[in-house]
Structure 1
Amino acid sequence: MRILTCASSNATCAAKGQAVEANPDIAGIGVILGFLCTTCIAFFIAFAVLFLQRYDKIVTLCRRLFTNNRDEYEQNRDPYWRSAEFWSKVLSKNLLAFSDTQLLTGLAIQFTAMLKHCDLSIYHFQVVTELAFLTTVTHLLTLVALRDYFVKYRWINLPRVFFMLGNLALLGYTSFVAYSYDLAGLDLSASLACYYKGVRPSAKAAFGTRWAGLLIGAIGGHVTVILAMYIFSGEGSTNKKWWFRLGALFRTWFVAPVYATYGIIMAGISLRQTQVLGTPPVTINGDETRWGFGQFLPLLLLALPLFAGWESFWEEKDWHDPNRYSRSTRLRGESRSTVDVFKLAQSPNLNQQSPEDISLTDVHIHSNGPSPHGTPRTRSASRVALTSHPTRIPDPHLPVPSLPASPAMRPRSPSRFEERFSR
């Protein structure tokens, strides 16, 4: 039973060289540039992360190959923000943000094509396939470059992996249609409804097209990383076997670069045959290079990963600064109860000091704001000072003199709310 049919469509399937109506939502200038820019940026970030993660090993290898220095290289991490480890963490979060952005846009454009399959032309459906092809390049590079992160937090990343596989499954189907339309005797300008109304080619015949390379590269690369995440993720003997390490090297330095390069080049060649980047092979009624809200939005989405990278830079750079969020300035006007004595527990020298050697420590207790049921509450401030001078500990059996109560600290009558609550 066929799920996608276009029995009610009145498309002319025998004619060739028909005019195709413009569709900026799929082949608009902002959509195409947004997908291309995201994939190209993710391509360079992914290989930068792979290089930075292995910076010490690469320098050590170059030393031993081209010099007489056999010592293992260890980078100076002072200052930390100039180290390879710092930039690896910052760019990793940036790469993950780019991958998430394309995960949503890739699913959105493929769902749009599936819902409007009876109204689209084969030409525009092929553009959808090329754009979705670019998303799998970004996802595969992210999985390979951030493999340790995905393995360590595999259950946290399970929804992300699930949507990646869903996007890959949709691409497997849409690419089958887009790359085998000519086997059904259809023209590129024909309506996609003709494909669903006519005789569809077999999978064996379509496997000789670009569909085979996409399936082998994309599915193979994704599956190897996912298997390492959920099946071979233990610390047992698998991680120490030579064939496992050889497979990891093959995946990282052969499958991922070859598939990414192939995907960007082939998608770029196909997208050059659009109205945005070149001359389309069909006649298009309308202008797909006109800017509008739907064209600005994909490019503006590029700012989200850039914001994530900017935030990650300062978080990693100022990780040792407890006031980097300016909490002290916010607490001045808020209702709070703060006891700074808890900082004593974080002092590394606290356990090494005697009670007579404790440095000066202030304990502030502030209380401001209305009390329950609108009862006015007096603002009190108490300071406990522990001096570093040796003092005698008083005898607990001796009576402790009491200080005279100030007018502000005199007992007050309970409010109605407090009387009801005490009952």
Structure 2
Amino acid sequence: MGICSAQANCTVPDNYIVPFDADPDIVLAAFFIGVWSTYIIIAWGYFFNDRISNDCLSDLDRWIRHYSLTLPHHIRQWIFKKEAQKWTGSSTALIKICLMISDQQLVTGTAMLLIGFITHCNIPQYYFEIIADYGWVTNSVYQTSVMVTYPIFQQNPAMRHWRAAWMTCQAGFIFICQILTYHQDWLYLFGTPTRCIWENMSTGYTKGSQMVQLIITLSFQVWSYLFAMGIFYPRYVGWTTYFLRAVRYILRLPTRFHVWLSRRWKRPSRLQGCVLATTYAIFIAAHMMSQIFASSLLEIIRAFAMLLWGFWWITGYRMSDDPSRVEAMQGGENEWSTGQMMPLLMLALPLFTAIELYWDNTTEKPKSEDTVDIPLRTCERSTIDSLLCSTHSLISSPAASLLSTSYTPRIISSWNLDAREVFEPYCHTRGHDTDSLDVEPCRPSLSGSQEAFFQLEYLTIEKLWFRVLLVVVSAMILGGFITGALFGYVI
């Protein structure tokens, strides 16, 4: 690099030892406490905060949150034999606390990456790897936190701008870090200056499998960034929804095919019945994947895997017995110096600020300027409309036009629900005859809604066995992410 004052020594010594000075100022304890605390608050907000906007939730998320939000009520009723009170102040406090602590991770992670790039001339690859991993983990945690803090940005759009700028800088740094760390000579010797990779970029990507992994990782990184920016600026990044629509169309092809066969074969033979069973199984698999991959739960799982990956590999680097680290390091990196103690002591600031925020929002009457008071869609299951208003939902939203706002889950939750029960409230309110299953009188106002597909998809997600299957598959995905994190590959 031209900005470096002297030529770096990138030759490999005969003893494979490149001496470097230990840096005790990279404090792992403060890092792990900060990111894990942020993740715990995000996960708590996902399951127990009733003020999360439906714009960030899918149908699977709503079903999970329906039970998690009522869990404290049942526990309190079981233990204290009394009704649980709804503490809106604690929900507001949690959003503000999550915003504060996630902002700290955003700024800290970006600052660490900036320092790594400024000192790239002399910083060993060992320490640059730790900084890059740290920045990647904080970036993943912050993007997940937007789901909880989204109501504040809805109320105060101006608060988005500086955070979007920092997130853009961080995403750019991480993009470059990914290219560096996928170089075939990366960490060949822990003490080699990072600058040596910059000077040999053209010769370090000769393996095809390595390039494929790099392209996949960068693609997911760009998509994750665009998704987060789409929440901040939906008007300008809304073009990404065209890709989601294409994915939704592909995932709904099994639904269309199964419905078409079901209408064509009114009285199926044994062979036709086997074909219908096969198409139904394919539909179940596609519908299940669409529900999981459109949910914020998947982002929660991915963030957990990222944290586990960061903890596993950063700690592994620090405890490595590789001779290029143990014999080459001059000094100790675990000494309790000012650089070690200061970050730990500074954790007291967000801790006491969080306590004050919680205290102010739960003991005093909320002021209009201090509360997150915006018209959010409720997460109740009292209407089907609440299941269709989400931008994450893969159910066709035009089908909402056939539903009455007074439609209750007492009918929806029945095990075998037919077309009459779905269309009856809409037809009844408009004076149509509903004694038969014919929905043609309702069809003029349902053009393009594809009500049969909507019916099949919605009735499926209402079945208990399908929900159990969703939970099992989500647990398997969590296990897959954890396994990938332990083996060093997460996206």
For 1:212 and 1:123, how far apart are their aligned partners in 2? 23
What residue in structure 2 maps to residue 417 of structure 1?
Answer: none
For 1:248 and 1:54, how far apart are their aligned partners in 2? 21
For 2:349 and 2:219, how far apart are their aligned partners in 1? 32
What residue in structure 1 maps to residue 172 of structure 2?
Answer: 169
For 1:109 and 1:290, how far apart are their aligned partners in 2? 20
Unaligned runs of 5+ in 2: 53-61, 69-81, 250-289, 368-491
Matched residue SS, 1:11: coil
What residue in structure 1 maps to residue 310 of structure 2?
Answer: 267
Q: Aligned match of 2:104 in 101, 108, 124?
A: 101
What residue in structure 1 maps to residue 386 of structure 2?
Answer: none
What value does the CA root-mean-square deviation take over the aligned residues? 3.9
Alpha carbons 2:87, 2:362 under 8 Å: kept: no
User: Percent identity of the aligned residues?
Assistant: 18
Residue 112 of structure 1: how far off its partner (Å): 1.4
Paired residue type of 2:177: T
Correspondences of 1:168-187 after superposition (within 5 Å): 168-182=171-185, 186-187=188-189
Q: Judging changes above 3 Å, is the alpha-carbon distance between structure 1 residues 251 and 140 closer, same or farther for their aligned structure 2 residues?
A: farther
Alpha carbons 2:183, 2:197 under 8 Å: kept: no
Matched residue SS, 2:20: strand
Q: Judging changes above 3 Å, is the alpha-carbon distance between structure 1 residues 96 and 62 closer, same or farther for their aligned structure 2 residues?
A: closer
Matched residue SS, 1:117: coil
Correspondences of 1:219-298 after superposition (within 5 Å): 219-231=222-234, 250-254=294-298, 256-275=299-318, 279=321, 282-283=325-326, 284-298=329-343
Paired residue type of 1:32: L
For 1:321 and 1:117, how far apart are their aligned partners in 2? 49
Q: Deviations over 1:298-348 (max 9, x none)?
A: 2223222222211111221233289xxxxxxxxxxxxxxxxxxxxxxxxxx
Alpha carbons 1:102, 1:135 under 8 Å: kept: yes
For 2:136 and 2:342, how far apart are their aligned partners in 1? 20
Q: Deviations over 1:208-261 (max 9, x none)?
A: 44x55653444323322321332259xxxx9xx9969x789725121x124312
Alpha carbons 1:137, 1:263 under 8 Å: kept: yes
Q: Judging changes above 3 Å, is the alpha-carbon distance between structure 1 residues 225 and 119 closer, same or farther for their aligned structure 2 residues?
A: closer
Q: Judging changes above 3 Å, is the alpha-carbon distance between structure 1 residues 232 and 17 closer, same or farther for their aligned structure 2 residues?
A: same
Alpha carbons 1:144, 1:225 under 8 Å: kept: no
For 2:87 and 2:212, how far apart are their aligned partners in 1? 44
Alpha carbons 1:39, 1:137 under 8 Å: kept: no
Q: Judging changes above 3 Å, is the alpha-carbon distance between structure 1 residues 40 and 216 closer, same or farther for their aligned structure 2 residues?
A: farther
What residue in structure 2 maps to residue 190 of structure 1?
Answer: 192
For 1:84 and 1:58, how far apart are their aligned partners in 2? 21
Q: Judging changes above 3 Å, is the alpha-carbon distance between structure 1 residues 262 and 8 closer, same or farther for their aligned structure 2 residues?
A: same
Q: Which has the higher helix share?
A: 2
For 1:217 and 1:168, how far apart are their aligned partners in 2? 12
Residue 117 of structure 1: how far off its partner (Å): 0.8
What residue in structure 1 maps to residue 22 of structure 2?
Answer: 22
Alpha carbons 1:121, 1:189 under 8 Å: kept: yes
Q: Deviations over 1:179-206 (max 9, x none)?
A: 32527x9533322232233344359965
Paired residue type of 1:188: F
Correspondences of 1:70-81 after superposition (within 5 Å): none
Alpha carbons 1:186, 1:195 under 8 Å: kept: no
For 2:144 and 2:65, how far apart are their aligned partners in 1? 25
Paired residue type of 2:22: A
Alpha carbons 1:20, 1:189 under 8 Å: kept: yes
What residue in structure 2 maps to residue 313 of structure 1?
Answer: 358
Correspondences of 1:126-137 after superposition (within 5 Å): 126-137=129-140
Q: Which has the higher contact order (CA 8 A, sep 6+)?
A: 2
Q: How many residues align?
A: 293
Alpha carbons 1:122, 1:190 under 8 Å: kept: yes
Correspondences of 1:201-212 after superposition (within 5 Å): 201-202=204-205, 207-209=211-213, 211-212=214-215
Residue 47 of structure 1: how far off its partner (Å): 1.0
Matched residue SS, 1:272: helix
Larger Rg over CA atoms:
1
Q: Aligned match of 1:39 in 9, 31, 35?
A: 35
Paired residue type of 1:53: N
Matched residue SS, 2:120: coil
What residue in structure 2 maps to residue 366 of structure 1?
Answer: none
Alpha carbons 1:106, 1:131 under 8 Å: kept: yes
Q: Aligned match of 1:11 in 9, 25, 40?
A: 9
Q: Deviations over 1:373-419 (max 9, x none)?
A: xxxxxxxxxxxxxxxxxxxxxxxxxxxxxxxxxxxxxxxxxxxxxxx
